[in-house]
Amino acid sequence: MQLTPTQNVAVDLLILALDRTHNTVKLFTPTRKDSKKKALPGVLLTPNESISHAVQRTLDTKTNLSQLSYRLQELPAQTDPDRDPRGHVISVPILVFLTEHVNLSNGWSTFEPGLDLDFDHTIMVNKAFNILAQNWEHYPLPLLLAGKSITLEETRDLLAHFQPQYAKTLPSNLRHMAFVQSFLKETNALKATTKKGRPPKCYTVLADDIKPLYTIC
C-alpha cells in the first residue's frame, strides 16, 4: 500500500481499563489479521481531520468500546522514519482511560513494559507506562479508571501497578499522600465485600481536578 501525502500522520490508541478482579490495569491489544501479532488500534488521519476525531473514528471502527465513557491523554509523537513499513508515518499515541466497567474477556493484555507488539508499539507502551508511573503525585491519571468511586485498598493496588514498592503499604497510610488528599474525597459509603471485618470506606474520585499532562489537539 502506497501512502498519499495526506496519509503521513496516524493516531494509535493505548486503551486502558481497570481489572478489579485481579487488581491490575489492562491494555486493549487486538491481534492484526495480516501479521497475526498483537498491536494497538489506530488509523491514518484523513485530510483536515483532527486528532480527537481520529480517536473517535478508531474507537468506532477498530473496537467495540465506542459507547463507553473515557478521558484522553496525548503522548509525545513517534517520528522514526522506519517505524511503519508502508512509509514515513508519524504516530501520535493517545492514552484512553475507560471510566466504566469493561468486559475484559478478549483482546486485552496486562499493561506493563516489554509487551511484544507489532510496529513500534512496544516502545509506545514502555514510554506511556513510565510517564504514568513518574507523574502520580500531581497527575494521577490512572485514578480515572476507577470511575466515580474507589477504596484506599484499591488505590494502593492501582498505585502499586505502576510503583511496585507500594504493594505492601497499608491502605490507611495512603491518606497522608498528596495525590489522595488532592484527588480523592472520603465519603460515608462502605464498599460491599465478602471479606471479614469492617467494610472499607469509598472515596469519590475528583476526576475534574485530574488535569492532563498535555492538551490534546
Q: What are the pLDDT digits (tens) for 77-128?
A: 998 888 888 788 899 999 999 999 998 988 999 999 999 999 999 999 999 9
Residue 108 grid cell: 486485552
User: Where are the domains positioned within the chain?
Assistant: 9-134, 148-209
Gap between the Cα atoms of 207 and 95, Å rounded = 16
- Strand extents, DSSP E, the chain: 9-19, 24-28, 42-44, 70-74, 90-98, 108-110, 149-150, 184-190, 201-205
Identify the DSSP state of 112: -
- pLDDT computed for residue 67 by the predictor: 92
Provide the residue type at 195 as one letter: K
Confidence of residue 1 (pLDDT cuts 50, 70, 90): low
Among 3.90.79.10, 3.40.50.620, 3.30.1120.130, 1.10.150.120, name the CATH number for the domain at 9-134. Answer: 3.90.79.10
Sign of the torsion angle spanned by Cα atoms 184, 156, 137, 94: negative
CATH architecture of the region 148-209: Orthogonal Bundle (1.10)
Exposure string for 26-64, b = 16+ CB within 10 A, e = fewer? bbbbeeeeeeeebbbbbbbbeeeeeeeebbebbbeebbe
- pLDDT tens digits for 14-47? 999 999 888 899 999 999 888 889 999 999 999 8
Inform me whether the pLDDT recorded for 157 exceeds 90: yes
11 touches 45 (CB < 8 A): yes
Which helix (DSSP H) or strand (DSSP E) does residue 133 occupy? helix 121-134
**Torsions phi, psi for 62 (to 5 deg):** -115, 0
- pLDDT tens digits for 48-83? 899 999 999 999 999 999 999 999 999 999 988 888
Residue 66 grid cell: 465506542
